[in-house]
Amino acid sequence: MQHFLSLFDISPEDLKLILRTAGVVKQKLAAGDRPNILKNQVIALLFEKPSLRTRVSFEAGMAQLGGESLFLGSDVGWGKRESPSDFTNVLGQFVDAVVCRAKQHAQVELLASYDAMPIINGLTDLCHPCQALADVLTIEEAFGSYAGKHLVFVGDGNNVSQSLALICAMLDMRFTLACPEGYEMDADWLAKINASYPNAQIETLHDPAAAVKTADAIYTDVWTSMGQEAEVVARRQAFKAFQLNKTLLDAAPSTARVLHCLPAVRGEEITDEVIDGEQSDIVRQAGNRMHAQKGLLVWLLGRDWISKHVR
């Protein structure tokens, strides 16, 4: 049973194949071709957290592949009305895969432990692997290749930055986190990356201007994520020198691209001038959520098609 709880669940070769598949299905869509690769297959979207991009991109992507999706909110009683084993094993008889957007990573691990159907992590507190797929796809489109590129994340060492550090290690990219002291990535997560990929180029700096000096892409995210609302005042104070604004962008090469996983708090972690500027790839990045996830879905559920259409 193949799950996608984090990028640790796949090999670098699998990752590259998913990205190539995403590129192929994106090109086909642009040409008006929507092959029914996953005809008659159904995925369930099991969400504990609100969503725009994750929900709509998976629903639209599955429809474009000829399949269907079911959105499962709090009314299904996940974790409340019945045991996790009963819930998961019954659901596995109805659907071909589940996309889970959970507050805690342990929740997706529990779902996967029953091997009732493939589980895709749509976001947890630990990592956001689907977002990282879209991010690298965007970098590849911007530069023609992701190989050797330097990605700088300015902000919190959160679930998004942790997935980016891992995907960069898998693809021989360089990753820098620029954050205030005390907001670094999880030490155990970094140790696992370094154990799996000894040649990983990952660094943490506390000077954003120094961090972006050689950046190919500069990435930021909200300073206060869902569930951290009680920390908002402290975080604004801690991160005030880490805003992605024109001054910081000018410290980077003129070819650097700007990324943000959205939603953004405009005027806080990023200014309007930058998010709407000529160097911003944020809209395309958001659109690539669907294309990257289509590549993932085809890799999970339509391998025969890949063997015939993806080199």
State how far the alpha carbon of 21 is from the alpha carbons of 26, 159, 308, in Å.
8, 25, 11
What string of DSSP letters covers 144-185? Answer: S--TT-EEEEES---HHHHHHHHHHHHTT-EEEEE--TT-PP
Rounded distance between C-alpha atoms, residue 16 and residue 34, angstroms: 22
258 three-state secondary structure: strand
131 is catalytic: yes
pLDDT in tens, 194-248: 999 999 999 999 999 999 999 999 999 999 987 788 899 999 999 999 999 999 9
pLDDT in tens, 60-109: 999 999 999 999 988 898 988 999 999 999 999 999 999 999 999 999 99
Rounded distance between C-alpha atoms, residue 83 and residue 167, angstroms: 34
Annotated catalytic residue: which of 41, 107, 131, 162?
A: 131
Closest CA to 277 of 302, 306, 254, 301: 254
Question: Residues near 220 by Cβ (< 8 Å), separated by ≥ 6?
Answer: 153, 154, 155, 242, 244, 259, 260, 269, 270
Confidence grade of residue 118 (pLDDT, cut at 50, 70, 90) = very high
Annotated catalytic residue: which of 41, 261, 291, 293?
A: 261
Rounded distance between C-alpha atoms, residue 153 and residue 155, angstroms: 6
289 is catalytic: yes
CB 5 within 8 A of CB 109: yes
CB 309 within 8 A of CB 36: no
* 129-143 vs 159-170: helix crossing angle, rounded to 10: 60
> Strands 119-123 and 97-101: what pairing?
parallel
pLDDT in tens, 22-47: 999 999 999 999 999 999 999 999 99
304 is catalytic: no
State the pTM of this model: 0.97
221 is catalytic: yes
Rounded distance between C-alpha atoms, residue 92 and residue 118, angstroms: 9
CB 19 within 8 A of CB 141: no
Annotated catalytic residue: which of 101, 150, 235, 291?
A: 101
Q: What is the pLDDT of residue 56?
A: 98
261 is catalytic: yes
* Assigned token pair, 63: 């429809």
**Residues written for the chain:** 311
Annotated catalytic residue: which of 64, 221, 257, 260?
A: 221
267 three-state secondary structure: coil
CB 258 within 8 A of CB 249: yes
Rounded distance between C-alpha atoms, residue 257 and residue 291, angstroms: 20
Annotated catalytic residue: which of 53, 235, 289, 291?
A: 289
pLDDT in tens, 271-293: 999 999 999 999 999 999 999 99
Q: What is the pLDDT of residue 122?
A: 98
Annotated catalytic residue: which of 53, 100, 107, 128?
A: 128
Rounded distance between C-alpha atoms, residue 67 and residue 261, angstroms: 26
